[in-house]
Homo-oligomer: A and B are copies of this chain.
Amino acid sequence: MSELFDRHRETLQRAVEAAHTRGYWSPYPEMPSGRIYGETAKADGEAAFQALLNAPFEIDQPTTGATVGKEESPYGFALGTTYPATDPVALVAAARAAGKAWAQASVETRVGICMEVLDRINKQSFLMANAVMHTSGQSFMMAFQAGGPHAQDRGLEAVAYAYDEMAKVPGAVRWEKPQGKQPPAVLDKTFKVVPRGVALVIGCATFPNWNSYSAYFADLATGNAVVVKPHPMAILPLALTVRITREVLAEQGFDPNVVVLAADEPEAPIAQSLVSHPDVAIVDFTGSRAFGEWIRTNAAGKQVFTEEAGVNSVVALSTDSFKGLCGNLAFSLSLYSGQMCTAPQNIFVPREGIQTDDGHKSVDDVAKGIATALDKLLGDPDRAIGILGAVQNPDTLARVDDARALGKVVHDSAPVSGGTIPEGARTATPLLVQLDAEDEAAYLEERFGPIAFVIATDDAEDAITRAAGSARTKGAITAAIYSTDESQIDEAAAAFAEAGAPLSVNLTGQILVNQSAAFSDYHVTGANPAGTACLTDAAFVANRFRVATVRRQGA
């Protein structure tokens, strides 16, 4: 039926199976290794990235003729890459026109093309790592993984879910209803998956690929044309994604405008025009609560999926590895300088302290334990920047400054210097501030970046209630508990289930609460204000298409 579908059939089948069983699986190796990606892959990726700097990005798509592009690497230099400026109305019109043939293509044709695109993106993982590193500020290793194979996993997962749901719609059916002694009533029916129209994917600056690929590939697989609106400070990774997709589309005989890039600059944003365009039927957005709310309010009648903001909590009640607790949390707070939507912010500790394998620990002891673990983890500058990466947005540093005044600073934030750290890199170690549960104004809002609080509560129940309550009312994407008491864990599990935050229990080793694995973890539940999308469940894909029917009287 479709050569590309046949070529990737086995991978797709394994992906569908993995989406059902939800254990560990990935077809895209996460190690940036020459043995896997080719001995010259690292150098080739670096050279390809350098060639993109200070030059127009080559992409043959509708444009006003002007260019845009003001990306700056958080490691201290301007990218200088420029992109075709676009008129939102003309862009949507082009996508809509191209989408007609895409909608007519078979499910297998579209899925095959998505699989091929993912495969080609995978082969460009080193180039993508550079592009993600120098827009988001992630460390090279993280940019390789989260911008490369892990994002590709999320894309493939969405294709698998979409395929699974579309495959459920039978193509041709004979409906034959017995009529007693009369001949049966017969209708021959054909069913066809039809897309909703033009889909809009709005990316974020911290995880331009990881947070966009699920929607992008779900939209494409279900037959929608896609307008990609990257964050103005993280265009390059999605521009590369769009370009690779357009290459495959053109090779397969489709108008490449099935996917188009809508690049803009911070001073002249175009997202609102795109969201409001009547032909845009689906909007996926990752970003701020404020713009998320604007979209939810102004996109009435459209399918809207968001990942916005939240306040993630840790409840520390007791542990059989105090060292493990402190080390694990220090890593969670440090990874990408707290710029992950999954990073914890609030660490609730009962005022009377907690029992540990290392004896009783007061709230002060817990705060100090984490602070000490931070110092140990981040003592060497090269190791530190490998974990912290750089700070994507200068506003984040201002937020760190402001947060110092909120309570007792137990670990101050500082830039990282020395080692091989590049001149001009924008870095910051985590700020840890000790508070009382009363200080709700301080901790009950998202303070995005390397900012965390150790918060004394009345008791264990108060800790769980406050943590789950803030998830329910303010949103949360993750939650964690440390407890040696199974009944407390059960209580917390019920409270966080109701609050819509997945709960990690007693993580004292290498696995962090921040981590979310495609095919296994449901990322964002859609059940609290942190977002309406869940990566990935059936609800994420099932409403991106509809079913057209033709019924004919049977013989």
Residues in B with CB closer than 8 Å to A509 are 185, 553
Residues in B with CB closer than 8 Å to A537 are 542, 546-547
User: Which of the residues B20, B300, B551 comes within 8 Å of A502, measured between beta carbons?
Assistant: B551
User: Which of the residues B175, B194, B502, B525 comes within 8 Å of A517, measured between beta carbons?
Assistant: B175
With A176-B23, A498-B194 known as contacts, the answer to whether A549 contacts B534 (CB < 8 A) is: no
A236 within 8 A of B: no
Measured CB to CB, the closest approach of chain B to A538, in angstroms, equals: 4
Check A497 against B548 for contact (C-beta < 8 Å): yes
Check A522 against B191 for contact (C-beta < 8 Å): yes
With A508-B553, A546-B534, A550-B503 known as contacts, the answer to whether A527 contacts B176 (CB < 8 A) is: no
A301 within 8 A of B: yes
Q: How many identical chains are in the complex?
A: 2
A376 within 8 A of B: no
Check A500 against B546 for contact (C-beta < 8 Å): yes
Residues in B with CB closer than 8 Å to A104 are 494
Residues in B with CB closer than 8 Å to A548 are 493, 496-497, 500, 502, 525, 527
A505 within 8 A of B: yes
Q: How many residues of A contact B (CB 8 A)?
A: 64
Residues in B with CB closer than 8 Å to A504 are 550-552
Check B549 against A522 for contact (C-beta < 8 Å): yes
Which A residues are closer than 8 A to B by beta carbons? 20-24, 103-104, 165, 168, 170, 173-178, 185, 187, 189, 191-192, 194, 196, 296-297, 300-301, 493-494, 496-498, 500, 502-511, 517, 520-522, 525-527, 534, 537-539, 542-543, 546-553
A-B residue pairs in contact (CB < 8 Å), sample of 25: A20-B168, A21-B170, A22-B173, A22-B191, A23-B174, A24-B176, A104-B494, A189-B520, A191-B522, A196-B527, A500-B546, A500-B548, A502-B548, A502-B549, A502-B550, A503-B551, A507-B553, A521-B551, A522-B549, A525-B547, A527-B546, A527-B548, A537-B546, A537-B547, A539-B543
